[in-house]
């Protein structure tokens, strides 16, 4: 049914188009939930998510100092975090267990002791990346989109990582409020019959290893 809404012949075609980058995760989610196209609150959440988190309060930074959230580990309010001063880039916020921090061990004097502000989760959506492994059968991708949508998440990007006759894996970026929100979504995905496993991607090495798998 979702394939027909997207003007494709079968569920397999949806996966192919997502893998080729011709179909976005948002389009799949909206095919499952057509009402999202008309929901002004949903559109506002997407807009706020594009601000790279600079409006989110971070304790430990000098007032007026700009920062970016690491695109390697996608830190969320609720994560333990550390700031790293990068020449030419300013301060980059990482999760404390981000694999990229190993490369900065020799410059620990550039690390900053930081934490989230009290109302960080209320100031917009943040992006988390998941590695989801599902059964290679019709309806699996739609089931994942349904679970995420039902639990208040928003898919911002999907990329097929690997595939075999039994399962396929894909990287999915979703907008969430904070770590607790993400954990609720992960829990709901793990009990879904179509989902074999789901894990959070913590760094660039995780994503690269998955892509090479």
Return the residue matching tokens 């192919």.
16
**pLDDT, tens digit (0-9, with 9 covering 90-100), for 66-98:** 889 998 899 999 999 999 988 877 899 999 988
Residue 101's pLDDT is 86
Return the residue matching tokens 């998955």.
210
* CA neighbor of 179 nearest in space, from 209, 202, 208, 150: 202
Domain end point (choices 79, 100, 122): 122
Residue 168 lies in a domain: yes
Helix (H) or strand (E) holding 90: strand 90-95
Same domain, 87 and 139: no
Same domain, 114 and 145: no
Same domain, 20 and 79: no
C-beta separation of 75 from 94 below 8 A: yes
Residue 49 lies in a domain: no
Helix (H) or strand (E) holding 167: strand 167-176
Residue 39's pLDDT is 46
* Residue 56 token pair: 């989110």
Total number of domains constituting the chain? 2
**Domain, as residue range, for 73:** 54-122
Same domain, 118 and 135: no
* Residue 162 token pair: 């690997």
Q: Give the count of alpha carbons within 13 A of 182, CB side only.
A: 26
Residues facing 133 on adjacent strands: 169, 197
Same domain, 128 and 208: yes
Q: Which residues of the chain have pLDDT under 50?
A: 35-36, 38-54, 207, 209-211
Q: Which CATH number characterizes residue 164's domain?
A: 3.30.70.260
Same domain, 73 and 111: yes
**pLDDT, tens digit (0-9, with 9 covering 90-100), for 108-132:** 668 899 999 877 767 667 899 999 9
Domain end point (choices 106, 122, 138): 122
Same domain, 83 and 180: no
Residue 193 lies in a domain: yes
| Residue 24 burial (C-beta neighbours within 10 Å; 0-12, 13-18, 19+) | middle
């Amino acid at each position: 049914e979702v394939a027909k809404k997207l003007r494709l012949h079968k569920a397999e075609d949806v996966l192919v188009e997502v893998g080729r980058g011709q179909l976005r995760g948002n389009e799949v989610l909206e095919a499952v939930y057509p009402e999202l196209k008309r929901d002004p609150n949903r559109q506002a959440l997407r807009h706020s998510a594009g601000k790279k988190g600079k409006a989110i309060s971070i304790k430990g930074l000098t007032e007026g100092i700009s920062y970016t959230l690491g695109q390697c580990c996608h830190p969320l309010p609720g994560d333990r975090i550390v700031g790293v001063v990068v020449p030419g880039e300013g301060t980059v916020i990482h999760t404390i267990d981000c694999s990229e921090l190993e490369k900065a061990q020799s410059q620990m004097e550039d690390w900053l002791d930081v934490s989230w502000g009290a109302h960080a989760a209320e100031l917009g959506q943040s992006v988390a990346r998941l590695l989801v492994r599902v059964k290679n059968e019709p309806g699996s991708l739609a089931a994942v989109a349904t679970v995420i949508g039902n639990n208040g998440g928003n898919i911002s990007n999907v990329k097929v990582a690997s595939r075999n006759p039994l399962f396929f894996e894909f990287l999915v970026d979703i907008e969430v409020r904070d770590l607790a929100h993400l954990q609720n979504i992960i829990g709901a995905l793990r009990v879904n019959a179509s989902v074999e496993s789901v894990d959070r991607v913590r760094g660039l090495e995780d994503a690269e290893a998955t892509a090479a798998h």
